[in-house]
């Protein structure tokens, strides 16, 4: 029995398209290597139907399966870069705003001893 896709309805359209493109790229990589679905399934330790779902960009396929497929094509090293903090533009903007808020000149304390 197929899993319900209701829990995947929250995915933004951009995320769904990105998964579909990843699946297309993995399909092309497998075919260029002249490997069958059955061979890839065996190498990934999953069923042929899971590889088919992966190649369609199904969000229900586990991230570990996607990672293993990336490993098969020599691209697993790109995985951690997807959430690299140095490339997080949203967090960078927040940091800049916070730094701008702290960069206001502070008032100088008065030296009461020298005033006497």
- The number of distinct structural domains making up the chain is 1
Report which of residues 21 and 98 the model is more confident about.
Answer: 21
Entry pTM: 0.74
Q: Is residue 70 within 8 Å of residue 79, measured between CB atoms?
A: yes
In a domain, 4, yes or no: no
Q: What is the CATH number of the domain that holds 56?
A: 1.10.260.40
pLDDT at 112: 58
Is residue 87 assigned to a domain? yes
The pLDDT tens digits of the residues spanning 9-59 come to 789 999 999 999 999 999 999 999 999 999 999 999 999 999 999 999 999
pLDDT at 108: 62
Among the residues of 1-116, which ranges form H helices?
13-32, 37-44, 48-55, 63-72, 89-102, 112-115
Question: What does the alpha-carbon distance between residue 58 and residue 54 come to, in Å, rounded to a whole number?
Answer: 6
Range of the domain at 91: 10-101
**For position 1, what pLDDT does the model report?**
42
- The answer to whether residue 53 sits within a structural domain is yes
First-to-last C-alpha distance (Å) of the chain: 88
């Amino acid at each position: 029995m197929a899993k319900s896709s209701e829990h995947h309805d929250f995915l933004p359209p951009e995320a769904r398209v990105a998964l579909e493109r990843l699946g297309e790229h993995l399909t092309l990589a497998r075919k260029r290597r002249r490997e069958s679905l059955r061979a890839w399934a065996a190498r990934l330790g999953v069923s042929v139907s899971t590889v088919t779902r992966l190649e369609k960009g199904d969000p229900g396929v586990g991230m570990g399966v996607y990672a293993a497929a990336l490993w098969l094509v020599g691209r697993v090293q790109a995985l951690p870069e997807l959430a690299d903090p140095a490339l997080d533009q949203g967090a960078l903007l927040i940091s800049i705003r916070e730094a701008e808020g702290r960069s206001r000149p502070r008032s100088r304390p008065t030296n009461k001893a020298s005033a006497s």
